[in-house]
């Protein structure tokens, strides 16, 4: 157990809530499949008391250690290679430090303590946009690995660098879970009904299908055993992906697509899917530009 620690393998945030416990079990199965360590992270802070009672730092830290140990015990029900990190500070900063060398970060959602903000608050934007590895959000009780085994992995793409990263995550997960992969490009209805001077809608859709095939070609070569269905679907991206994820085990998206403003860390479609998708959502992001 340490403070400000970079972890290998899979990293998961734990705050003691039932939903973060679900995320821990999900992450433990993922670590077992990858044969890598699982690291549980818990953040604690000292708050100034406005009332007559105060608690020593040592008592607060001891309570945090006991809570984290409970999470470790739960994780070891699924995987024996489990470590823990207890950090003082914000949940996002502790997780970000731990994720510096990790393969995957897993978080629960809508908890009432620190890690609950990772889905809908500023910490969620920070993790899903800037984590050096993909982030999986496990939102509901029914979002289990059994669902992944019985469903498939769905990836939404739009040609952005983040969505290219999402394709790689999708192939990796489909390979790990021995399931099929569906790669979707949402095609605007306005193009279908619009009048174009030189190309009709069928021609443009054909070009989009060709581009999609080229996008996934390198990953097909790397994972030849993964069965892939790559297609162009008509409709807004959110609607297309929600419909496709109805029976899916995992939905993978980029943190920000081509339509996103540079100032936005998490695209509107990705953020909506985190709240509404019936399956866990993995968010991949484009590599940070090098300074200069």
Final residue of a structural domain among 100, 116, 138: 138
Residue 117 pLDDT > 70, yes or no? no
Which has more confidence, 4 or 138? Answer: 138
- Do residues 54 and 89 share a domain? yes
CATH code, domain with 111:
3.40.50.620
Looking at residue 73, what is its pLDDT? 96
Residues 180 and 279 in one domain: yes
Asked if pLDDT for residue 207 goes beyond 80, the answer is yes
**182 or 158: which carries more pLDDT confidence?**
182
Residue at 231 is within a domain: yes
- Report residue 273's pLDDT band, with 50, 70 and 90 as the boundaries: confident
* Gap between the Cα atoms of 203 and 163, Å rounded: 23
Which of 47-51, 112-116, 261-265 comes out lowest in average pLDDT?
A: 261-265
Residues 85 and 192 in one domain: no
- In the chain, the number of structural domains is 2
Q: Across all residues in the chain, what is the average pLDDT? A: 80
2 in a domain, yes or no? Answer: no
pTM across the whole model? 0.84
Which of the residue ranges 44-53, 55-64, 216-225 has the most confident prediction, judged by mean pLDDT? 216-225
49-58, 134-143, 147-156: least confidently modelled range? 49-58
């Amino acid at each position: 157990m340490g403070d400000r620690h970079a972890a290998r393998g899979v990293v998961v945030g734990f705050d003691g809530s039932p939903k973060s416990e679900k995320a821990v079990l999900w992450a433990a199965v993922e670590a077992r499949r990858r044969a890598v360590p699982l690291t549980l992270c818990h953040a604690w802070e000292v708050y100034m008391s406005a009332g007559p009672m105060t608690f020593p730092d040592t008592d607060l830290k001891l309570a945090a250690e006991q809570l984290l140990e409970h999470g470790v015990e739960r994780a070891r029900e699924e995987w024996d290679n489990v470590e823990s990190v207890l950090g003082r500070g914000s949940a996002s900063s502790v997780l970000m430090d731990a994720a510096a060398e990790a393969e995957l970060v897993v978080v629960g959602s809508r908890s009432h303590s620190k890690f609950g903000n990772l889905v809908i608050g500023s910490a969620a934007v920070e993790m899903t946009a800037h984590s050096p590895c993909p982030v999986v959000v496990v939102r509901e009780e029914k979002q289990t690995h059994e669902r992944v085994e019985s469903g498939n992995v769905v990836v939404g793409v739009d040609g952005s660098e983040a969505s290219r990263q999402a394709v790689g995550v999708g192939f990796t997960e489909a390979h790990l879970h021995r399931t099929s992969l569906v790669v979707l490009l949402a095609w605007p209805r306005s193009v279908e009904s619009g009048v174009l001077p030189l190309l009709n809608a069928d021609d443009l859709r054909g070009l989009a299908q060709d581009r999609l095939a080229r996008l996934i070609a390198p990953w097909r070569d790397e994972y030849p055993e993964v069965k892939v269905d790559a297609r162009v679907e008509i409709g807004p991206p959110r609607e297309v992906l929600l419909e496709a994820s109805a029976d899916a085990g995992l939905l993978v998206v980029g943190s920000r697509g081509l339509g996103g403003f540079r100032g936005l860390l998490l695209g509107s479609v990705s953020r909506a899917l985190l709240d509404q998708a019936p399956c866990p959502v993995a968010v991949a992001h484009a590599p940070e530009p090098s300074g200069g």
